Amino acid sequence: MGKKMMSTALVTAFFVIALSSANAFSQSRSTGIGFRGTYWDMDNQPSGISVRQNGGITRVDVGSGGGWLYFYSRVNDSWLFEFSLGVAGKAKTEEEDFWGENVEVNAITPVLLGFRHNLLAHDTQSALQPYLSFGAGPYWINDIKVRDRYYDDDEEVYVKSKVKPGGYTGGGLNFMLGDWVGLNFDIKYHFVDFSEKHLYSGYEYGLGFFFTWGRYHSPREKEKVKITIE
């Protein structure tokens, strides 16, 4: 497993270096919007799909995936304001032959405001742009349980919703594919209820794409133009 992970890391690093050296795009756009698929490591549960059978009982676990829609706008040469709307969740089903089925769905919907700090200059010609980020906002948590009994058509539905404050810190990389489009890799750690001990607190890993528009002119560039005119 270690060798496989090392090979994957090396291939990824090679791709990053090749992409960075093969393209040269300015990152001085002022505004952007992006979409990102994500894996949220909530309560340290395994990701993906798991199917287990034991006698007449079938258990299926699906999680912990989700997605984000985010919008950002440049504040100055190094800082950007970011608004993010996301959703992530997991589902568990347990079916007993001829008896019934139990379904449990856990979902979290964060609405976050934050800032991103680019580690390279805004007018860099590199296709690779690393950044750090942090922010906060409300986290809507929904827990849904359904208990269905086949023999008497009895169904019980239990829904519990609550809102918790929270925040995040993280970082990521943008890979410019052109002057207006690129790929995004992002890592965050979410502190739901501002506590790392909360059930939904944990690391989140995302991969997606973004579009940018609008030309950004730094105050220094404007000052140079003003001096030249005078």
pLDDT, tens digit only, all 230 positions of the chain = 444 454 455 446 545 554 544 455 555 788 999 999 999 987 666 555 666 666 667 777 777 889 999 999 999 888 999 999 999 988 888 777 667 788 888 899 999 999 999 998 877 778 889 999 999 999 999 998 888 877 676 778 888 999 999 999 999 999 989 889 999 999 999 999 999 888 899 999 999 999 999 887 676 655 554 555 55
Q: Which of 205, 213, 212 is nearest to 185 (CA)?
A: 205
Q: Phi first, then psi: give them for residue 25, nearest 5 degrees.
A: -125, 140
| pTM passes above 0.85 | no
The upper half-sphere exposure of residue 55, i.e. CA atoms within 13 Å in the direction of its Cβ, equals: 3
What per-residue confidence (pLDDT) applies to 48? Answer: 58
Position 228 scores a pLDDT of 53
**φ, ψ for residue 201, nearest 5 deg:** -70, 145
> Quick one: three-class SS letters along 52-71?
EEECCEEEEEEEEEEEEEEE
- 64: cis peptide before it, omega within 30°? yes
* pLDDT given for residue 55 in this prediction: 64
In order of their start, the domains of the chain are 29-229 (2.40.160.20)
* Residue 69: per-residue pLDDT: 98
What is the model's pLDDT at position 192? 95
**Are 138 and 110 within 8 A, CB to CB?**
yes
Question: What confidence score (pLDDT) does residue 103 get?
Answer: 86
- What is the model's pLDDT at position 73? 95
> End-to-end alpha-carbon separation of the chain, Å?
65
